[in-house]
C-alpha cells in the first residue's frame, strides 16, 4: 500500500484524482447514495472509473449484509458482487477472532448485517448477558433499543476483562429524511454505563481499510468519502490518498476548519470531478500589501493579517473552496484565529 505523505493535503499539479490509482474504494452513504436513491453523477462516474481500475465499496453501516448492499448498488446501475463490499462487521469479526476462542458465544448488539457475519465466522450468537458470552460485539441497527444496550452493559460490567468490539463509532448516519443518530451514539450510551471504550473496526480505524486491501489488492488505492472525522482521517491513517466529496455530511465550513490529519488529498463537488484535471493552488505574495494570495483556476483568495477575503470568485465554486483551504491550511494560524469571509463557507 502506498504510504501517506507528510502533508496529505498538498495540491497535485494538473492531473486527475484517478491518475496513478489502481484501486478505488468508495464509502456508500453520502457518496454513492442517500437512503435508497443514488446521488447524482455517482453511478456514472464510478462505472467509468471501474473500466480501468478495481472498485470496492466500504461501509461503516453494520445494519445491512454485504449481499443486500451489493443488491442495492446493482439496482442503482452499479454491477456489484457481494465480495465487492467490505462492511464494518467483516472487519470487526477479524478483530474479535484474535480475542476469543473459536466457536465461543458472543453477545450481539445489532441486526442481520452483524449477526450473519458473527455466525458465518463460527461463533454462537446470544442476546443475553446471562449466557456468559466470551465477548460483546456492537453495531448499528434501526431497532436496537434500551434492552440491547442494557444487556451489553450487564455483560461488560460483570467481567471488566470481557472483550468489547464495535463495528464503528459514527455519531450520525445520513438517511432519506435527514441526519439520524449513528452507532457512535449507541456505543456512547454503553460507554457511559461501563466506563471503558471498545476496540473499533470501522473508519477512522485502519482495520476496515486493511480488510479492503487484503481482499482487493492494489498498490495505490484512493478512498472516497463524505466525512472528515471518519473517512478522511481513516484513509490518512491507512496511508491512502483521499477524496472528500461534498454530497454527504461535511461541507465547506467543516473542510475549511479540518485539522491536519483530517485533510483530504482532493476536494470534489461531485464524482464527475474524479476524471477532471485537478488544478494546482498557486501561492503568491502581493508586492504592494504583502498579503498572501492563493489562486486555483480563475478563483483566488487573500490573507491580510488574519482576514481571509475573496479576490476573485471565478466561475467554479469548487476552485474557490480549494483556494481557500490551501490558504487556510497553509497559513499556520488556527481557524478560530481567522476572520473568514462568509461566502467561502455559507
Where do the domains of the chain lie? 23-60+204-275, 89-200, 282-344
Query: Apex CA 23: angle with CA 9 and CA 223, to 5°?
Result: 35
Q: Look-up: residue for cell 490573507?
A: 303
* CA atoms of 193 and 247, how far apart (whole Å): 35
Confidence (pTM): 0.88
* CA atoms of 288 and 279, how far apart (whole Å): 26
Contact 114, 141 (CB under 8 A): yes
- Fold match between 23-60+204-275 and 89-200? yes
Mean pLDDT (whole number) for 178-187: 92
- Known catalytic residue at 19: no
The residue annotated as part of the active site, out of 6, 19, 22, 29, is 29
* CA atoms of 297 and 276, how far apart (whole Å): 13
* CA atoms of 314 and 326, how far apart (whole Å): 16
* CA atoms of 344 and 310, how far apart (whole Å): 8
Mean pLDDT (whole number) for 326-346: 96
Mean pLDDT across the chain: 94
Contact 236, 9 (CB under 8 A): no
Grid cell for residue 239: 496511508
- Known catalytic residue at 36: no
Beta-carbon-side half-sphere exposure of residue 238 (alpha carbons within 13 Å): 31
Q: pLDDT tens across 93-152, in order?
A: 999 999 999 999 999 999 999 999 999 999 999 999 999 999 999 999 999 999 999 999
Confidence of residue 14 (pLDDT cuts 50, 70, 90): confident
Confidence of residue 176 (pLDDT cuts 50, 70, 90): confident
Confidence of residue 174 (pLDDT cuts 50, 70, 90): confident
pLDDT for 32 equals 97
Contact 136, 109 (CB under 8 A): yes
The residue annotated as part of the active site, out of 27, 226, 229, 250, is 27
Yes or no: domain 23-60+204-275 corresponds to CATH 3.40.1690.10: no
pLDDT for 289 equals 95
Examine the pLDDT at 61 and tell me if it is beyond 70.
yes
For residues 109 and 171, which has the higher predicted lDDT (pLDDT)?
A: 109
Q: pLDDT tens across 140-153, in order?
A: 999 999 999 999 99
Mean pLDDT (whole number) for 43-49: 98
* CA atoms of 242 and 15, how far apart (whole Å): 15
Of 257, 214, 255, 215, residue with least CA distance to 231 = 255
Q: Above pLDDT 90, what percent of the chain?
A: 90
Q: pLDDT tens across 205-214, in order?
A: 999 999 999 9
* Architecture of the domain spanning 89-200: 3-Layer(aba) Sandwich (3.40)
Grid cell for residue 94: 477479524
pLDDT for 3 equals 37
For residues 49 and 61, which has the higher predicted lDDT (pLDDT)?
A: 49
Cis omega (within 30 of 0) for bond into 204: yes
Phi and psi (nearest 5°) for 32? -95, -40
Confidence of residue 13 (pLDDT cuts 50, 70, 90): low
Query: Apex CA 144: angle with CA 143 and CA 148, to 5°?
Result: 140
Of 225, 209, 228, 227, residue with least CA distance to 91 = 209
Examine the pLDDT at 279 and tell me if it is beyond 80.
yes
Q: pLDDT tens across 18-36, in order?
A: 999 999 999 998 999 988 8
Query: Any residues with CB less than 8 A from the CB of 262 and at least 6 apart, and which?
Result: 228, 229, 232, 233, 236
User: Which residues make beta-bridge pairs with 309?
Assistant: 302
Examine the pLDDT at 9 and tell me if it is beyond 70.
no
pLDDT for 100 equals 98
* CA atoms of 299 and 296, how far apart (whole Å): 5
Amino acid at each position: 500500500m502506498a504510504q501517506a505523505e507528510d502533508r496529505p493535503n498538498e495540491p497535485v499539479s494538473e492531473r486527475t484524482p484517478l491518475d496513478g490509482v489502481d484501486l478505488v474504494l468508495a464509502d456508500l452513504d453520502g457518496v454513492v447514495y442517500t437512503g435508497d436513491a443514488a446521488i447524482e453523477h455517482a453511478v456514472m462516474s464510478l462505472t467509468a472509473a471501474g473500466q480501468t481500475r478495481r472498485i470496492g465499496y466500504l461501509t461503516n453501516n453494520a445494519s445491512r449484509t454485504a449481499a443486500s448492499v451489493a443488491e442495492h448498488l446493482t439496482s442503482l446501475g452499479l454491477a456489484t458482487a457481494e465480495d465487492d463490499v467490505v462492511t464494518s462487521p467483516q472487519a470487526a469479526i477479524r478483530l474479535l477472532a484474535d480475542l476469543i476462542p473459536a466457536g465461543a458465544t458472543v453477545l450481539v448488539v445489532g441486526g442481520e448485517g452483524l449477526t450473519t457475519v458473527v455466525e458465518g465466522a463460527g461463533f454462537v450468537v446470544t442476546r443475553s448477558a446471562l449466557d456468559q458470552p466470551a465477548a460483546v460485539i456492537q453495531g448499528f441497527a434501526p431497532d436496537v433499543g434500551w434492552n440491547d444496550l442494557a444487556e451489553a452493559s450487564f455483560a461488560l460490567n460483570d467481567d471488566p476483562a470481557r472483550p468489547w468490539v464495535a463495528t464503528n463509532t459514527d455519531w450520525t448516519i445520513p438517511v432519506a429524511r435527514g441526519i439520524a443518530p449513528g452507532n457512535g451514539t449507541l456505543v456512547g450510551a454503553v460507554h457511559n454505563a461501563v466506563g471503558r471504550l471498545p476496540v473499533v473496526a470501522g473508519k477512522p480505524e485502519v482495520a476496515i481499510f486493511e480488510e479492503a486491501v487484503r481482499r482487493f489488492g492494489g498498490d495505490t488505492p484512493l478512498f472516497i468519502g463524505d466525512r472528515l472525522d471518519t473517512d478522511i482521517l481513516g484513509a490518512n491513517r491507512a496511508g491512502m490518498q483521499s477524496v472528500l466529496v461534498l454530497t454527504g455530511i461535511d461541507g465547506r465550513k467543516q473542510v475549511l476548519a479540518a485539522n491536519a490529519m483530517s485533510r483530504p488529498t482532493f476536494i470534489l463537488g461531485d464524482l464527475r470531478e474524479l476524471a477532471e484535471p485537478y488544478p494546482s493552488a498557486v501561492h503568491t505574495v502581493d508586492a504592494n500589501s504583502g498579503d498572501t494570495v492563493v489562486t486555483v483556476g480563475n478563483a483566488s483568495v487573500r490573507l491580510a493579517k488574519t482576514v481571509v477575503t475573496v479576490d476573485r470568485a471565478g466561475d467554479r465554486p469548487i476552485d474557490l473552496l480549494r483556494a481557500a483551504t490551501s490558504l487556510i491550511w497553509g497559513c499556520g494560524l488556527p481557524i478560530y484565529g481567522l476572520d473568514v469571509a462568509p461566502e467561502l463557507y455559507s
